[in-house]
């Protein structure tokens, strides 16, 4: 008998035309990943209602950051590990963190991390040093 952990299945995809994320959860419990699913089925949208890029589909990993923000594939996190910035990836049947220099964490403390952006809207976050202003929002260092 196979016992599966019941968790919330949510996905997002980037709408290039409107410059916004579309969120969906239109899946039966038998689906474990969004790979090879028609996006109109996944997001319950008409194909001509949005200009979407299938390479931007990301699954909710089932965890939230320290601010209770849902974490998705493609998010960039600031970790509790010496303020290390890393990308959320899905490889080898699990979610983990990877940086551009080859560093990785297979079992990060998700609830101690902070979502600071994503690879599609903010790729520079992985490349540049950040400063944290008094308002608590991250920006590129001048």
Q: What is the pLDDT of residues 41-100, one digit of tens each?
A: 555 543 445 666 778 888 899 999 999 999 999 999 999 888 899 999 998 888 999 988
- Which pLDDT score is estimated for 53? 75
- Which pLDDT score is estimated for 8? 72
Average pLDDT value over all residues in the chain: 75
Q: What is the domain partition of the chain in residue ranges?
A: 11-127
Cα–Cα distances in angstroms (integers) from residue 62 to residues 27, 77, 82, 91, 123, in the given order: 15, 15, 24, 15, 23
Q: What confidence tier does 113 reach under pLDDT thresholds 50, 70, 90?
A: very high
pLDDT above 60 (res 31): no
Please give the Cα distance from 127 to 96 (Å, whole number): 19
Q: What confidence tier does 138 reach under pLDDT thresholds 50, 70, 90?
A: very low
- Which pLDDT score is estimated for 65? 97
- Which pLDDT score is estimated for 86? 94
Check if CATH label 3.40.50.300 holds for domain 11-127.
Answer: no
Q: Which residue has the tokens 């320290």?
A: 66
Phi, psi angles (nearest 5°) of residue 95: -95, 140
């Amino acid at each position: 008998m196979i016992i599966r952990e019941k968790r919330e299945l949510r996905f997002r995809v980037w709408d290039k035309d409107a410059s916004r994320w579309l969120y969906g959860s239109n899946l039966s419990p038998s689906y474990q990943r969004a790979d090879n699913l028609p996006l109109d089925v996944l997001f319950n949208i008409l194909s001509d209602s949005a200009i979407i890029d299938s390479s931007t589909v990301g699954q909710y990993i089932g965890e939230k950051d320290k601010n209770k923000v849902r974490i998705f594939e493609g998010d960039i996190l600031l970790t509790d590990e010496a303020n290390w910035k890393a990308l959320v990836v899905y490889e080898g049947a699990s979610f983990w963190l990877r940086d551009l220099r080859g560093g990785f964490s297979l079992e990060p403390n998700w609830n101690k991390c902070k979502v600071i952006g994503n690879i599609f809207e903010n790729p520079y976050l992985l490349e540049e040093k950040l400063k944290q202003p008094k308002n608590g929002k991250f920006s590129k260092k001048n």
